[in-house]
């Protein structure tokens, strides 16, 4: 967000054939040649397919194996560092802090898998042990009620120290999402969670963009959630009229940046949903209810979830 955002050869028979037998032999040659050509084509075709498919299948199986091993390693680490992770998140993430013990355990299990599937790439700043935990938590928070939460399309999260320049935009960015990855400025990320009441949270904002990107712009094998997509269209029946009214000058509790385009309206709405929850429920009840349904959670409830994932009616 700106400001954020074969050929076979033979010599023939050596014995001279009688004309009648020769004619029979010659009459049979074209059909035999056709059969040979067809068989040859099929063989070559299968060889080509094997050359293409086998490496692809090998790489796919290898990735699945490595991913499974990464999950096992991360889950083993969670058992060892559970208390440490719990303490860090309770300090920095108000949403996590508000969860009861059983839901904290569920949150950490999801977070462990999410972080195992991502690489944190620091750009001109030293790594911080909290990065994977806190950045992953911003995503898991949004997708806590969803079936698919790993944002499979994205392998890398890039972290800069401060606001940064991107493309031809004059205004520095706090974060953005594109096909190459998720980008965040670390100081702005931390600032967003220090004040959890101003609906200005670059972590939540960009992870909302990433969730939309996976479901509406990435390939169908990159983590799309069909149920989320269906519910998003229901959400839009409520949200789009509000967005259009903001573009016409209407003012409400959402940050004016929401009027930039519908993608920004979505991300700003999610920020507000989590950081000005009670106010949004009172002032924009229809939008609030539609977000609860879409994300399958109500942040005002102790356990958050409306239904366990996979149990939608």
**pLDDT, mean of each 10-residue run, the chain (313 residues):** 43 40 45 62 76 68 58 73 94 97 96 95 94 97 96 96 93 96 98 95 98 91 88 98 98 98 98 98 98 98 90 46
Instruction: Establish if 35 belongs to a structural domain.
Output: no
On the CB side of 75, how many CA atoms lie within 13 Å of its CA?
10
Instruction: Look at residue 43 in the predicted model and tell me its pLDDT.
Output: 80
Residue 126 lies in a domain: yes
Q: If DSSP codes are grouped into helix, strand and coil, which group holds residue 306? A: coil
Token pair 């004016």 in the structure block, residue: 256
| Residue 195 belongs to a domain | yes
Q: Are strands 181-185 and 175-178 parallel, antiparallel or unpaired?
A: antiparallel
Q: What is the pLDDT of residue 230?
A: 96
Name the residue with tokens 């102790």: 302
State the residue range of the domain holding 266: 84-295
Does residue 70 form part of some domain?
no
Q: Count CB atoms within 10 A of the CB of residue 35.
A: 10
Cα 220 from Cα 205, distance rounded (Å): 23
Are the C-beta atoms of 182 and 206 separated by less than 8 Å?
yes
Q: What per-residue confidence (pLDDT) applies to 46? A: 76
| φ/ψ of residue 282, rounded to 5 | -80, -45
62 falls within a domain: no
pLDDT of 229 reads 96
Looking at residue 266, which CATH number applies to its domain? 3.40.390
**So what's the pLDDT on residue 223?**
81
In a domain, 12, yes or no: no
pTM of the model: 0.79
Residue 4 located in a structural domain = no
Q: How many domains does the chain have?
A: 1
Bridge partner list, 176: 183
pLDDT of 69: 60
65 CB contacts (<8 Å, ≥6 apart)?
Answer: none
Look at residue 246 in the predicted model and tell me its pLDDT.
98
Q: Does residue 246 sit within a domain?
A: yes
pLDDT value of residue 19: 43
pLDDT at 29: 47
């Amino acid at each position: 967000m700106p400001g954020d955002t074969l050929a076979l050869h033979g010599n023939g028979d050596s014995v001279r054939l009688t004309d009648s037998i020769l004619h029979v032999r010659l009459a049979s040659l074209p059909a035999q040649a056709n059969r040979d050509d067809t068989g040859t084509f099929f063989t070559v075709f299968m060889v080509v397919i094997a050359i293409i498919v086998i490496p692809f299948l090998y790489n796919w199986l290898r990735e699945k194996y490595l991913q499974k091993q990464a999950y096992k390693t991360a889950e083993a680490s969670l058992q060892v560092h559970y208390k440490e992770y719990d303490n860090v998140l309770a300090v920095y993430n108000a949403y996590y802090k508000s969860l009861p013990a059983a839901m904290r355990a569920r949150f950490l299990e999801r977070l462990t898998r999410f972080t195992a599937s991502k690489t944190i790439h620091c750009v001109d700043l030293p790594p911080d042990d909290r990065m994977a935990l806190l950045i992953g938590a911003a995503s898991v928070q949004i997708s806590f009620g969803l079936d698919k939460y790993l944002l499979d399309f994205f392998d890398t999260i890039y972290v800069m120290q401060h606001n940064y320049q991107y493309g031809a935009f004059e205004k520095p960015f706090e974060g953005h999402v594109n096909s190459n990855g998720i980008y965040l400025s670390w100081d702005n990320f931390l600032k967003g969670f220090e004040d959890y009441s101003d609906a200005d949270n670059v972590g939540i904002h960009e992870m909302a963009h990433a969730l939309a990107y996976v479901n509406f712009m990435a390939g169908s094998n990159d983590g799309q959630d069909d149920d989320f997509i269906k519910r998003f269209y229901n959400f839009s029946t409520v949200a789009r009229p509000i967005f259009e009214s903001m573009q016409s000058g209407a003012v409400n509790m959402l940050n004016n940046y929401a009027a930039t385009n519908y993608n920004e309206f979505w991300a700003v709405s999610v920020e507000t949903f989590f950081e000005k929850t009670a106010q949004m429920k009172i002032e924009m009840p229809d939008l609030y209810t539609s977000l609860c349904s879409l994300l399958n959670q109500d942040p005002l409830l102790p356990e958050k979830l409306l239904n366990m994932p996979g149990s939608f009616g």
